[in-house]
Amino acid sequence: MNTSSSPTLNNITLEENDPSFSASFPYRTGVYGYHDTSYPWHWHNEVEFFYMRSGVIDYHTPSGIYPLVEGDVGMVNASVLHMPCGRPGVFSEQEDHIFLPSFISGAHGSVIETRYVLPLVENRSIDMLIFRKGTETAARAVELMHRATALHEEKPFGYEAGIRSLMTELWLTVLQAAELSTQPAEGSPHDDARIREMMRYIADHYGEKVTLGEIAGAALIGERECCRCFQRQLGMSPIEYLMDFRISKACELLHSTEMSVLEIGIHCGFSSPSYFGKIFRRKLGYTPRDYRNARLDIASTVNF
């Protein structure tokens, strides 16, 4: 993944932070590129609006997997776990506009916050909203984001106020188009905390022999509840998530290091080279060696 800024991911808390993000102006924008890879499960306190410039990206959230294609617009709610994944053989690009809800709501307790911001931010049944290309909402959202990008790049007098105004209009456009559910979100109110503890454990121990009991123990729950929690939140089993995490780390090492395929497989917790190759090919459609060679070929023609 590439970006015009440099966000960092805390492997312990799974929170994404960007050093360029300022509390005095809690807004940032950037362009993200994907090819064959995913960005790990993460969350941030900001809401995230984006539109697809090209390609296709599969967004994984606790409620499901959502493919977004060129021209689509998406919004990821504040503090929601999510994972964007590129597709093999497809270079995809999205433009992000990320800001704290307070950027548009102003003072705590304001009518803007209580009437227009909190009904969406505090609705935990909404982790993501999608507006497809060709709809009036998507067209209006793209227009507003284009204008915000131009202001951010040119920085004329008063551009900060202009961006805030555009993001407020974008928020109201999306809020008006969204069908807000009044039903409580599925799952235990403790699920968010539990899943994060278990994901942190996996991030710390993925290179070791990890058991289901150890994953469950990180959240102080039993194995059956661990499996139910992963299914409710991520739509997969704990072991499936562990394998996805290991493959994601293997992709990073294949792309960024000269470690051998054998060394990478061992480093990422796979018991044998054949098992590593089998799982890798099942997930991505390539052998690890072919994936590394493909990335090198792409890097010679694409400005990452």
- Given strand 64-69, what is the order of strands in its sheet? 64-69, 56-61, 83-85
Last residue of a domain, one of 126, 142, 177: 177
Residue 14 has pLDDT above 80, yes or no: no
Give the count of domains, the chain.
2
- Considering only CA atoms, which of 267, 259, 269 is closest in space to residue 289? 259
Express as a percent the part of the chain with pLDDT over 70.
89
Domain that holds residue 139: 8-177
Residue 125 has pLDDT above 50, yes or no: yes
- Are residue 110 and residue 252 in the same domain, yes or no? no
- Are residue 41 and residue 135 in the same domain, yes or no? yes
- Are residue 62 and residue 169 in the same domain, yes or no? yes
Residue 159 within any structural domain of the chain: yes
Last residue of a domain, one of 147, 177, 207: 177
- Are residue 43 and residue 132 in the same domain, yes or no? yes
pLDDT digits (tens, 9 = 90+) for 220-233: 999 999 998 888 87
Residue 186 within any structural domain of the chain: no
- Are residue 199 and residue 157 in the same domain, yes or no? no
- Are residue 171 and residue 231 in the same domain, yes or no? no
pLDDT in the model for residue 4 = 43
Residue 58 within any structural domain of the chain: yes
pLDDT in the model for residue 152 = 94
- Are residue 44 and residue 110 in the same domain, yes or no? yes
- Considering only CA atoms, which of 178, 174, 210 is closest in space to residue 101? 174
pLDDT digits (tens, 9 = 90+) for 56-111: 999 988 778 899 999 999 999 998 888 898 887 888 999 999 999 999 998 888 89
Residue 297 binned pLDDT confidence (cut-offs 50, 70, 90): low
- Are residue 82 and residue 197 in the same domain, yes or no? no
State pTM to two decimals: 0.68
CATH of the domain at 210: 1.10.10.60
CATH of the domain at 153: 2.60.120.280
- Are residue 55 and residue 168 in the same domain, yes or no? yes
pLDDT in the model for residue 33 = 86
- Are residue 79 and residue 213 in the same domain, yes or no? no
Residue 191 has pLDDT above 60, yes or no: yes
pLDDT digits (tens, 9 = 90+) for 254-282: 888 899 999 999 999 998 989 999 999 88
Which is more confident, 300 or 57? 57
Residue 187 has pLDDT above 50, yes or no: no
Residue 179 has pLDDT above 50, yes or no: yes
Residue 183 within any structural domain of the chain: no
